[in-house]
Amino acid sequence: MPTQTLPPVPDGVSMYFYMKFAAGNETFGDEWYRFRTMNDMPPCLKHDYPTRDIEFRVPPICKGFQLITIDLQSALDTMPPNERLHLNPARWSRVRRDLSEGWCYTPWMGVEQGKASLTDGRHRIVAMMKFLQLEYAPFAVPLQHVEAVRAQLKTG
């Protein structure tokens, strides 16, 4: 377990929520917490992140999709601003565990009403940015959406 002290709890964030995110709990939960900025989010007190070389696995539902390397912030920016850091502590904990073990599922990008849209993977994107300082990662994209996603998002 990492040994670090928590920074001061940001204004407007309860100590209970802050500690729940820092310590982690992988049990099912229907709670969702909204952070204003990534700096308002607590550090991880449960895991170390020994590598930035992550093994990306394609989710079973995305078999046959094309992998495209996408800028994480531009992918997150496809969501409404108030939803980007709206996180579930149980999902957050599982994503951190997977990243600490050196792997995660690729996020999934699609197109809705002609615009690139993050279909699945908000927790993974935020965790990769916060704990691994990654800027780009592979995304699974349905073949019919590849051109639109490439045209609208920063890709690598």
Is pLDDT at 138 greater than 60 in this prediction?
yes
Q: Is 3 within a domain?
A: no
Contacts of 45 (CB under 8 A, 6+ apart): 1, 2, 4, 6, 22, 23, 24
Q: Is 6 within a domain?
A: no
Q: Is 131 within a domain?
A: yes
Into how many domains does the chain fold? 1
pLDDT digits (tens, 9 = 90+) for 74-129: 999 999 999 999 998 889 999 999 999 999 999 999 999 999 999 999 999 999 99
Rounded to whole angstroms, how far apart are CA atoms 42 and 20? 9
Q: Is 7 within a domain?
A: no
Q: Is 141 within a domain?
A: yes
pTM score of the predicted model: 0.87
- Containing structural domain, residue 110: 15-152
Residue 40: both structure tokens together: 């308002």
Q: Is 77 within a domain?
A: yes
